[in-house]
Structure 1
Amino acid sequence: MHEFAHMQGSEAAFRQAEFAERQTRAGRAVREAGFEALIVTSPETIYWLTGRQTAGYFAFQALILPTDGAPHLLVRRLEKPGAVANTWLADIAAYEDGEDPAEALARLLGALGIACPAMELGGWFVSPLLAARIAASLKLEALPDGSTLLPPLRAVKSPAEIDAIRRAATYAEAGMRAGLEACRAGSDENAVAAAMLGEATRAGSEAMAMEPLVSSGPRSGLPHMTWRRRQLEAGDPIFLELAGSHARYHAALMRSAWIGPPPAEARRMMDCALRALDAALDAIRPGAPCSAPHEAAQRVIDADGYTAAFRKRIGYSMGIAFAPDWGEGALLSLFSGVDRPIEPGMVFHLPATLRSYGVWTVGASETVVVTPTGAEPLSSLPRACAIL
């Protein structure tokens, strides 16, 4: 890395000590699992351990995490200068375009004297074919799976991580306010999306791991729809959701709106969704299981007869995110059967939505930080359905 040494850490998101502490905890987890090293492949976990971030993570990258000592990073040659600038790592290897990254990884492992590492096999960015090539390059029938070792370590955020999420929440709120202000008859979904993206970016947001969700009219009753040039009309329901991003840490926010008075049934559903959200927030307490907020919300929804309009978890972890998802929902959910105790420093997004499918969606969400006494919402935006 000698030719780029002058850039080391110049683009790092946090102090070197923050990453060193994470690496120490991660190495201990690998050692306690009985492995000599772990090959980390998910961009979120590589970032959590090192600060490595780029829009070029579509190209193979791997972090070799030994049980003791500093990690070793392998990236595409084009990505090496950015990897040096993003991280405090002293050992960054590169493979050339046209070179098989599986063979490059095997050579690096051989040079380090690592014969049978575990590997994150459950992520989105390593195909079964590539994993098989890596194993073959190491002359192994298969690599042990270490996918479950590090995600639990990311669930409780450090003060530096929480500060980043708080900043992201201010960007999301700025974008949501602008989106609501842009909702009026005669405008269109693209104008609303542009307002949300523009204001969140002006407020400070970096690239978001997923685009804002903007849908109106009957489209608003379909999950995860986004803008398609539809013109807004009097009587339309509107669904808006976005996340702000600071140093790859995300905070999300969702609101619903109506151009003109909502129908009586929509008002009843909105009232139910807001009471369910309140119940879930009240149930977030250190020591309570992660299932408790979901079950509290579900009781409210079931009692009002809207079970079929919900059919999902009440929330999920928030933190580091790369496309295609702005949440850490694969890391930790607020849902039935999730027994992990809630701890101070966890961060969750709770979207309390009820749908009349293909007709409308109503509800609101909050990103919250778990404190020693409960849940602290990071938005001051009113939750009631905005009547425009």
Structure 2
Amino acid sequence: MTGAPAVHLGQEAAFSRAVFDGRVTAARAALAARGIDVMVVTGPENIFYLTGQQTPGYYTFQALVLPVSGEPRFIVRQLESMNCRANTYLDDLVAYGDGDDPLALLSDITRKAAGPTGKVGIDKRGWFLPIGVYETLQGTLGDMVDAAGVIESLRAVKSPEEVAKIAQAARYVDAGIAAGYDAITAGATENDMVAAMLEAAVRAGSEYLGMEPLASSGPRSGVPHGTWKRRRFEAGDPVFLEMAACHDRYHAVLMRSAWLGTPPDDALRMMDACQRALDAALGAMKPGNTCEQVHEAAQAVIDAAGYTDAYRKRTGYSVGISFAPDWGEWQVASLFTGIKTELKPGMVFHVPPALRLYGAYTVGVSETVVVTEDGYRALGTIPRDLRVI
């Protein structure tokens, strides 16, 4: 339209051009070390990390062609091209229409970037690589090298700028959990509570989330990953609250527990075990220790308290860049048995010990923490005790 304001390259970018250039340079070095000449990047988290592109429209096909030598090219739906221009500094966008075949474009561009003998890498374990897409690319590009983990390894240690964004998201989470507590009254509903949580977090500054809050009450809270479902709070109810918030696609998460009335002794003992397990995990959260050691510190507390059968899960996971369907970075790092990844300053984890009497209630407590030079720093400010209302 004549006279319409222009969309400027990078006008809404989360970081400077220099930051993204540095990330691309590091990615190229990592690819070269693996003997990969060009990588097809399809995961929205990795695309954001390398370029800054973010949109709820990633359900349509998009792919970044990243050669070791030469400029990256981004294949994106035409409708998203202005969004991409605003969020990135990419000079070479290949926009396709809704009637076009983006895989034909991708195959042609990738083949030219790789050359006749170049190796093409792709994340074979990514959520956003459907079987049909992979088979089509295999038919046109031949066998591809599994490049899973190449970009994720670069995302593990956050820069001070990234940590600042996660810390900002943590402030939004604090607002949401505090509002959730205030909404827990007899006769109110789970929907009332979650509406208050989301409103407070969004008003505080949060953007759209990688995953919805996990919030439930009464016997429903005894089912893992339960969400709100119109149930009214009653006297004696347990209430479970867990939510994330987002700043520039960087997430922080917090889990808290409440009880409407006097909690039973069993719930208090389980909550005490969760508190001590969290303390033990955080005590092991220091550079040089491994992800496994953090988990084992928490697991030892759970085992000693007699709740081994109720704790068959990892103790935590990396957090940072996320798009639905998750608020965590499971591809980057997990705190669990067998994970020998060494902790380094700048890594960020959500650590959520929780115990359940299945079908009756869940209690748990968590923190989002940054690994520091001599330990950790918790980003949340909400007290960790079981909130009795």
TM-score by length of 2: 0.96
Find the counterpart in structure 2 of residue 198 from structure 1: 199
Find the counterpart in structure 1 of residue 19 from structure 2: 18
SS in 2 for 1:376: strand
SS in 1 for 2:66: strand
Q: Is contact 2:219–2:359 with CA below 8 Å preserved after alignment?
A: yes
Aligned: 1:339 with 2:340: yes
Find the counterpart in structure 2 of residue 217 from structure 1: 218
Find the counterpart in structure 2 of residue 124 from structure 1: 127
Matches within 5 A, 1:35-46: 35-46=36-47
Q: Is contact 1:4–1:81 with CA below 8 Å preserved after alignment?
A: no
Aligned: 1:370 with 2:371: yes
CA offset at residue 135 of structure 1? 2.2
CA offset at residue 72 of structure 1? 1.1
Q: Deviations over 1:81-110 (max 9, x none)?
A: 111111011111112212222111112224
Q: Deviations over 1:45-78 (max 9, x none)?
A: 0000000000100011110111134311111111
Matches within 5 A, 1:266-285: 266-285=267-286
Q: Deviations over 1:314-344 (max 9, x none)?
A: 1000000000000002220011111111000
* 1-structure distance, mates of 2:169, 2:356: 28
SS in 2 for 1:164: helix
Q: Deviations over 1:221-267 (max 9, x none)?
A: 11111110000000000000000100000000000000001001000
Find the counterpart in structure 1 of residue 152 from structure 2: 151
CA offset at residue 159 of structure 1? 1.1
Q: Is contact 2:38–2:110 with CA below 8 Å preserved after alignment?
A: no
Aligned: 1:248 with 2:249: yes
SS in 2 for 1:235: coil
* Structure 1 gap segments, 5+ residues each: none
Aligned: 1:325 with 2:326: yes
Find the counterpart in structure 1 of residue 359 from structure 2: 358
Q: Is contact 1:37–1:114 with CA below 8 Å preserved after alignment?
A: no
Find the counterpart in structure 2 of residue 383 from structure 1: 384
Q: Deviations over 1:18-69 (max 9, x none)?
A: 1111111000001111111111110000000000000100011110111134
Q: Deviations over 1:124-180 (max 9, x none)?
A: 111111111122233x2x322211222111100011111100000000010000001
Structure 1 counterpart of 2:327, which letter? W
* 2-structure distance, mates of 1:369, 1:177: 22
Q: Is contact 1:315–1:349 with CA below 8 Å preserved after alignment?
A: yes
Structure 2 counterpart of 1:46, which letter? I
Q: Is contact 1:317–1:333 with CA below 8 Å preserved after alignment?
A: yes
Find the counterpart in structure 1 of residue 312 from structure 2: 311
Find the counterpart in structure 2 of residue 135 from structure 1: 138
* 2-structure distance, mates of 1:107, 1:57: 22
* 1-structure distance, mates of 2:34, 2:66: 13
Q: Deviations over 1:173-211 (max 9, x none)?
A: 100000011011110000000000000000000011101
* 2-structure distance, mates of 1:146, 1:369: 27
TM-score by length of 1: 0.97
Find the counterpart in structure 2 of residue 77 from structure 1: 78
* 2-structure distance, mates of 1:151, 1:25: 12
* 2-structure distance, mates of 1:250, 1:183: 25
Structure 1 counterpart of 2:48, which letter? Y
* 2-structure distance, mates of 1:4, 1:279: 55
* 1-structure distance, mates of 2:325, 2:114: 35
**Please, what is the CA RMSD of the aligned residues?**
1.4
Q: Is contact 2:245–2:252 with CA below 8 Å preserved after alignment?
A: yes
Q: Is contact 1:4–1:84 with CA below 8 Å preserved after alignment?
A: no
Q: Is contact 2:318–2:330 with CA below 8 Å preserved after alignment?
A: yes
Q: Is contact 2:7–2:85 with CA below 8 Å preserved after alignment?
A: no
Aligned: 1:90 with 2:91: yes
* 1-structure distance, mates of 2:99, 2:179: 46
CA offset at residue 6 of structure 1? 4.9
Find the counterpart in structure 2 of residue 102 from structure 1: 103
